Structure 1
Amino acid sequence: MIIGGRSVANSVNRVLATAQNGLEVLRLGGLEMEPEKSPFEVVDRRPMYRLRRYFPESVHAVDGVSDRPPILLIPPMMLDAEVYDVTRDKGGAGVLHDHGVDPWVIDFGSPDTEAGGLGRNLADHIVAVSQAVDTIRERTGRDVHLAGYSQGGMFAYQAAAYRQSAGLAGVITFGSPVDTLAGLPFGLPVGLATRGADLLADHVLSHLYLPAWGARLGFQLLDPVKTAKSRLDFVRQLHDRDALLPREAQRRFLENDGFVAYAGPAIAELLKQFIAHNRMMTGGFVIDGRLVSLAEITCPVLAFVGDVDDIGQPVAVQGIVKAAPKADVYEHRLPSGHFGLVVGSTAAEQTWPGTASWILWQEAGAQNGTAELSDRIHRMAPDEGEPGDTGVTVTSRLSHGVNTLTEAGIGATKSIIGLTLGVTRSAVAIAEEAARTLPRLARLGEMQSHTRISFGRLLAEQAQAAPDGECFLFEDRVHTNKAVDERIDNVVRGLIHVGVRQGAEVGVLMETRPSALVAIAALSRLGAVAVLLPMGEGLRPAMELTSVSTVLADPESIEEAAEAGCRVLVLGGGDARELDLRGRHQVVDMEKIDPTTVRLPKWYRPDPGQARDLAFIMFAESGGQVEARRISNRRWALSAFGTASAAALGNGDTVYCLTPLNHPSGLLTSVGGAVAGGARIALTGRFDPARFVEEVPRYGVTVVAYTWTQMRDLVGESAPALGAHHPIRMFIGSGMPAGLWESVTEVFAPAQVVEFYASTEGGAVLANLSQKKPGAKGRPLPGSAPVRLAAFDVESGTYLEDEDGLVRQAGEGEVGRLLSKVLPDMDVPATVLRGVFESGDAWVPSHDLFYLDSDGDFWMIDTVEGVVHGVDGPVYRMPVADALGRLPEVTGAVAYGVDAGGAQVAVAAVTVRAGDVVQASDLDEAVSVLPAGNRPAVVRVVESIPRTAWYRPIGSGFAAEGLPAEGSGVFGYDRDSGHYAVLTPELRSSLIAVP
């Protein structure tokens, strides 16, 4: 009975204790306690933050330099700064101090109680961190170790990149994701997450804010198992006050006190820049109007990784080693979830002592052995796991706590959900791509001659839909859609002021720069025709083919434009530039015109251009003659939307425009595709490989637009300098030789090449989306005009007919001339063939010759005018250049014809890599893929091959020199043996003899 009585008494006492403690929790929010806090003083107060210095009395200075290394701790936006000082004995500030470090904390306060706090964005926080670093350096005389938990660690990375590591001794992060799309909570599909983030950022959170209770709920929902387990443990031990008190401060912090409101603009930026667009990995995020990339971090980095962290998942945290290739990156793995990295016993025993050991090791000179480094810290290796692998292994989950999963009763459900999501990822990706592509194709399908569509109109639509969206980047600055649209309108007013009217042909003679893009768009908005003039020798012939009397030029092109005898309108060049216009009556400085004083005439209607209207005039050289190519709005839109669809361009992409704007590939493909796809356009000055290496990570370039052999200058040195983990996913353009294509995909792996062909006559647009056929032009894009190959006799220049007198369609492997069909309600070009394949049909002929392979892919082999008419029959130049260009020793090739002995001789010129030589046997191997009749009679090694302004190899200069003479590096094709040999007088004579 005594034992029974004690049992009853214990039960009663337990019930009473539970009731008493429970009532205290209900009344006070927790158990009454007086946890010891670490002492601090507020060193600096600003509208954005208060800067705390902990244990200020214990730091001493010698000659103005503190005797302890300083560390600045950054909290996430949704957590109070007390996260680093929940208790004196286990908090980060206290433990770091005990281990010889000088802890500082930046306290952003709660935005809902700070003046203007709810309008804060991410940049405000990063600039604030940078200012705090300056203050600490001034006070301590030492460089600062920057550290942050969760999003605070993201701030640390971003601030280090913003400062380009200046004044920083290192960066330390705790569960801070970098590759956010590699480790999404709950295994969410990337497409769903990015689209959801974009939607929330643009339409919801930018106008609202997240209150403290919402931040707390969101954080807890990200780790529901941990939350449920903690609450269950608390209720089970509610009777035992002594057991609960040591953890009560931590519980109250995580359950209630530790959370603060989250400003809406900051959430929107986080979602858009770092989740939807993953720009911590790609680079190109915007801080205070400046473009920044983690690739600019050069100080050492230490990342703490939780083995069972479902918020800062290991694979996401380890993205830093790829994103910051210039930094020495270390990691410290912990058997912990997200909260446990900085709060609790694991943090007190491992995180903070490990942080201190790394700081002191770095301060002592890392490798000199005077400081002991935690044995849990190792260099981080790039994660090479399978896509979708978060890095949280089954083993680590089980070892961390099977009881947590089983007690909560939701572990199995979560695993099943994860498996289901994994199975459906591909379907989601397909649906996402369809959702992005179908509206573009539908817009093309609905286009009629009277449909209003133009370059200027698409830019206006972007400005209306997303005024703060990023339109283009140039020299580290970001130009928003709204700012660009306003600049276009201002230039339109200036054009009206000087008398430019709708329908006028106005020349544009400018380098690739923002003002050139704006000038072209302004002419489009006005309804005028932008005549994109070539620089150099082609300018005068081009001018003679148009009715241009006014030229828009940049300051550097004034002289060249003035010599053409036209009125010159000077645009761009910066706010501070001054033009000397004395004696130049025909030169007008457009920047001096005040747009607010210009009265718009009644005839002006913004963006009046219809699909059938002439939009641009471009120029190309054919047979040594400059030809004008007239591009309608429909033709431009076809290429723009087709490129956006084929390259899957979206608002997460940044298209780096290496292509000159006066080349069709520049305006129709790269700029057009970016505008149609909602991607950012990254403009660069004159093409420079060193600048390419610098700008790609800073701008976060995902797509590079090229033309012809432009990439040749990048595959040698730029690719290694850029590193293996560059952000580029694709190269788009036209004219890339097959050998160069293979080199590009090899050195810039895993990036791929998408080659386009767009005839300036008609509506033919082809794209090679297959990665298995370098050199092919691919197949017609949906929405473009149907194309056919007409059997064509290149010797006589006539079409081949069938027995009914209709043109015969070229068969598989047969050379034919590419024709594009004239569609109903389509603007009809000047040259149209009718009654071609059937009575009454209408087709637009191109200048280009193709053949069709067995899979239905088109291969371009030459132009009609460029075929070499040799003694053995026609020789097509492009297959020759491609075959020779595939030799590993060859860096460039061009084929051309030389008049000799009443016929032409096919000659190829090649450049060779320094230190290499080409032998006759190499040439035999290279041309073995060509039919005997399509091999060059002579192959010569030259020092360099001239190229046009848009990097197309030119053989006309070599052709003018005639048939090469015998000498070193000159080889001739021996018809009798079928092999190449060093050219001799006898072999040279046989090459021009009719067999």
Structure 2
Amino acid sequence: MDLIPKPDQVVSAVGNVAHLVMYGGLADLRPMPRTLIDEGNLREVYHYRPAAGVEQSGDPVLLVTPLAAPSSCYDLRRGCSLVEHLVEQGRPTYLVEYGQVSFKDRALGMEHWIDEVVPTAIREASAHAGGRPVHVVGWSLGGIFAVLSAADQPDLPIASLSVLGTPFDVTEVPMVAPLRPLLNLELPDSLRPLTRLYQAIGGAPQPLVRWAFQLSSVQKLVTKPLALATHLDDREFLAQVEAVDAFTAKMIAYPGRAFGQLYHRFVRGNDFRGGSIRFGQRTIELSSITAPVLVFGGATDGIAPVAAVRALLPLLTGSPEVQFEIVPGGHLGMLTGRGARATTWEALDEWMSRWPAAPVKQTRTARKRPSKKTAKATPKRTQIGSNPQRRYDSKASRGLAGG
């Protein structure tokens, strides 16, 4: 609203406040209807029902949920729901989520998601869609799960891979970089309170996860009351804030061992930056990915800044094509903010339409992996900001090409 509100702004503000008081909110938080098609230990695979009067076509899309985040990241509210957008486009749309994490899951590490959860979800989505290869989309830590699964099992029926807001170099994350020298000090176990704490309680509890997510945008949190007061006439703004609050309230706990791996390997060791990640007796090489990859960086993302996300690009030497896009928004906003409809979602639509593939023979077990030598022989092209006429900040994206 203006400093001195206009009459129409006052009317809109009064109407919004009245609706809030009478109905408890402005956002349409109804989830898109879906059907459970597969489940296992911390694995639930859903198929979203087709929109009425819309014929489904094209290869299926699987949305990979981050650990500790609710699946509403992809279905935030009607009008700002990537799921709704894909369904209305006629895309067969699937999602894998993990349910509530409890103390009994404390021994589960990242291997559980890389070996079992995500690969099984890809195969189930492909089988349910008639054996079509799958466009895999992962946001935040979901992107890490998708990338590592694709690298570990290049034979998965993947048509393309899209990664949004996923940092691969924590030295470029302002929240973490200053702390790493302290975290890497050699201290006795008795002086490592964080390690002892997560081991004792079996992971990172839900309130801590919620607090950490809110801390990443502390400036917005502090100025939120003023922002709400000055936007009382903006129904869309108020609805978006309400939807983000509902998303944050549903954060899920981290299993103990998986949290420990992320803390030691990702935050302290920055292992992902080298492109080789060791789990037990095996090493996963990101150069083994043979699918085309689309990478998104959020222009104002504090959790996964552009430079931290861009670090993935030179590691994808086995991919036939890599495309990088900078889109508006912070960590969640780049995925499902009000501006994502004309930026991120359009880029995803264009990308997936470029990679139609023939049906594949679907099996329930992993097939023999192609050798690394074969994967690396595939020519690779890297595009930066592919559509300057439409894409937000494409000139800035292109400028990164020489960096």
Change (3 A) 1:232 1:158: farther
CA distance in 2 between counterparts of 1:231 and 1:49 reads 38
> 1:73 matched to which residue of 2?
63
Indicate whether 1:291 and 2:283 are aligned.
Answer: yes
Describe how 1:226-375 pairs up with structure 2 within 5 A: 226-237=220-231, 242=235, 246-247=239-240, 249-257=242-250, 259-287=251-279, 290-327=282-319, 328-363=321-356, 374-375=387-388
Give the match's secondary structure for 1:363.
coil
Find 2:45's aligned residue among 44, 51, 65.
51
Change (3 A) 1:21 1:120: farther
Determine if contact 1:126/1:287 at 8 Å carries over to the other structure. Answer: no
More helix by percentage = 2
Q: What is the identity, as a one-letter code, of the residue corresponding to 1:125?
A: W
> 1:722 matched to which residue of 2?
none
Number of aligned residue pairs: 355
CA distance in 1 between counterparts of 2:263 and 2:186 reads 9
Determine if contact 1:280/1:293 at 8 Å carries over to the other structure. Answer: no
Indicate whether 1:124 and 2:112 are aligned.
Answer: yes
- The C-alpha deviation readout for 1:11-55, integer Å capped at 9, x for no partner, is 9x96x986x78878xxx9x62765443221111121221101112
Q: What is the identity, as a one-letter code, of the residue corresponding to 2:89?
A: H
Q: What is the identity, as a one-letter code, of the residue corresponding to 1:180?
A: V
CA distance in 2 between counterparts of 1:219 and 1:308 reads 15
More strand by percentage = 1
Determine if contact 2:43/2:96 at 8 Å carries over to the other structure. Answer: yes
Q: What is the identity, as a one-letter code, of the residue corresponding to 2:245?
A: R
- The C-alpha deviation readout for 1:629-650, integer Å capped at 9, x for no partner, is xxxxxxxxxxxxxxxxxxxxxx
CA distance in 2 between counterparts of 1:324 and 1:192 reads 31
Q: What is the identity, as a one-letter code, of the residue corresponding to 1:263?
A: P
Give the match's secondary structure for 1:116.
helix
Find 2:162's aligned residue among 155, 160, 172.
172
Determine if contact 1:144/1:168 at 8 Å carries over to the other structure. Answer: yes
Structure 1: gaps (5+ residues): 1-6, 366-372, 386-995
- The C-alpha deviation readout for 1:57-81, integer Å capped at 9, x for no partner, is 77999xxxx8321121112212101
Give the match's secondary structure for 2:162.
strand
In the TM superposition, residue 279 of structure 1 has moved relative to its aligned partner by 2.1
CA distance in 2 between counterparts of 1:17 and 1:143 reads 45
In the TM superposition, residue 266 of structure 1 has moved relative to its aligned partner by 1.3
Give the match's secondary structure for 1:246.
helix
> 1:90 matched to which residue of 2?
80
Q: Which moved more, 1:205-214 or 1:344-353?
A: 205-214
Q: What is the identity, as a one-letter code, of the residue corresponding to 1:142?
A: R
Determine if contact 1:280/1:294 at 8 Å carries over to the other structure. Answer: no
> 1:691 matched to which residue of 2?
none
Give the match's secondary structure for 1:125.
helix
Describe how 1:480-879 pairs up with structure 2 within 5 A: none
- The C-alpha deviation readout for 1:855-889, integer Å capped at 9, x for no partner, is xxxxxxxxxxxxxxxxxxxxxxxxxxxxxxxxxxx
Q: Which has the larger radius of gyration?
A: 1
In the TM superposition, residue 244 of structure 1 has moved relative to its aligned partner by 5.7
Change (3 A) 1:17 1:136: closer
> 2:379 matched to which residue of 1?
none
Give the match's secondary structure for 1:111.
coil
- The C-alpha deviation readout for 1:293-349, integer Å capped at 9, x for no partner, is 212112111111112212111111011112222222211111322121112211222
Change (3 A) 1:32 1:341: closer
> 1:37 matched to which residue of 2?
31
CA distance in 1 between counterparts of 2:100 and 2:149 reads 21
CA distance in 2 between counterparts of 1:300 and 1:165 reads 14
Give the match's secondary structure for 1:164.
coil
Give the match's secondary structure for 1:134.
helix
Q: What is the identity, as a one-letter code, of the residue corresponding to 1:94?
A: E
Determine if contact 2:278/2:284 at 8 Å carries over to the other structure. Answer: yes
CA distance in 2 between counterparts of 1:172 and 1:325 reads 16
In the TM superposition, residue 261 of structure 1 has moved relative to its aligned partner by 1.7
- The C-alpha deviation readout for 1:368-395, integer Å capped at 9, x for no partner, is xxxxx7553989898775xxxxxxxxxx
Determine if contact 1:165/1:299 at 8 Å carries over to the other structure. Answer: no
Change (3 A) 1:374 1:304: same
- CA-based RMSD: 3.7
> 1:758 matched to which residue of 2?
none
CA distance in 1 between counterparts of 2:279 and 2:237 reads 44
CA distance in 2 between counterparts of 1:340 and 1:33 reads 16
- The C-alpha deviation readout for 1:555-587, integer Å capped at 9, x for no partner, is xxxxxxxxxxxxxxxxxxxxxxxxxxxxxxxxx
CA distance in 2 between counterparts of 1:329 and 1:380 reads 14
> 1:658 matched to which residue of 2?
none
Change (3 A) 1:233 1:297: same
CA distance in 1 between counterparts of 2:19 and 2:106 reads 37
CA distance in 1 between counterparts of 2:272 and 2:45 reads 26
Structure 2: gaps (5+ residues): 1-6, 359-385
> 1:210 matched to which residue of 2?
204
Determine if contact 1:111/1:263 at 8 Å carries over to the other structure. Answer: yes
TM-score when normalising by structure 1: 0.33
CA distance in 2 between counterparts of 1:130 and 1:153 reads 13
> 1:158 matched to which residue of 2?
148
Determine if contact 1:110/1:117 at 8 Å carries over to the other structure. Answer: no
Indicate whether 1:108 and 2:98 are aligned.
Answer: yes
Give the match's secondary structure for 1:331.
strand
Indicate whether 1:192 and 2:182 are aligned.
Answer: yes
TM-score when normalising by structure 2: 0.76
- The C-alpha deviation readout for 1:942-986, integer Å capped at 9, x for no partner, is xxxxxxxxxxxxxxxxxxxxxxxxxxxxxxxxxxxxxxxxxxxxx
Change (3 A) 1:262 1:232: farther
In the TM superposition, residue 156 of structure 1 has moved relative to its aligned partner by 1.1
Determine if contact 1:59/1:68 at 8 Å carries over to the other structure. Answer: no
In the TM superposition, residue 88 of structure 1 has moved relative to its aligned partner by 3.3
- The C-alpha deviation readout for 1:228-282, integer Å capped at 9, x for no partner, is 34443224446x584665325523334424x122222211111122222222222
CA distance in 2 between counterparts of 1:229 and 1:69 reads 43
Q: What is the identity, as a one-letter code, of the residue corresponding to 1:123?
A: E
Give the match's secondary structure for 2:264.
helix
In the TM superposition, residue 129 of structure 1 has moved relative to its aligned partner by 0.4
Give the match's secondary structure for 1:191.
helix
CA distance in 1 between counterparts of 2:352 and 2:328 reads 22
Change (3 A) 1:56 1:23: closer
Find 1:137's aligned residue among 126, 137, 146.
126
Q: What is the identity, as a one-letter code, of the residue corresponding to 1:121?
A: G
Determine if contact 2:165/2:297 at 8 Å carries over to the other structure. Answer: yes
Determine if contact 1:171/1:300 at 8 Å carries over to the other structure. Answer: yes
Determine if contact 1:49/1:107 at 8 Å carries over to the other structure. Answer: yes
Q: What is the identity, as a one-letter code, of the residue corresponding to 1:163?
A: Q
Q: What is the identity, as a one-letter code, of the residue corresponding to 1:55?
A: R
Give the match's secondary structure for 2:113.
helix
Q: What is the identity, as a one-letter code, of the residue corresponding to 1:299?
A: A
Find 2:171's aligned residue among 178, 181, 199.
181
CA distance in 1 between counterparts of 2:318 and 2:292 reads 9
Give the match's secondary structure for 2:58.
coil
Change (3 A) 1:60 1:157: same
Taking only the aligned residue pairs, the percentage that are identical comes to 23
CA distance in 2 between counterparts of 1:131 and 1:17 reads 45
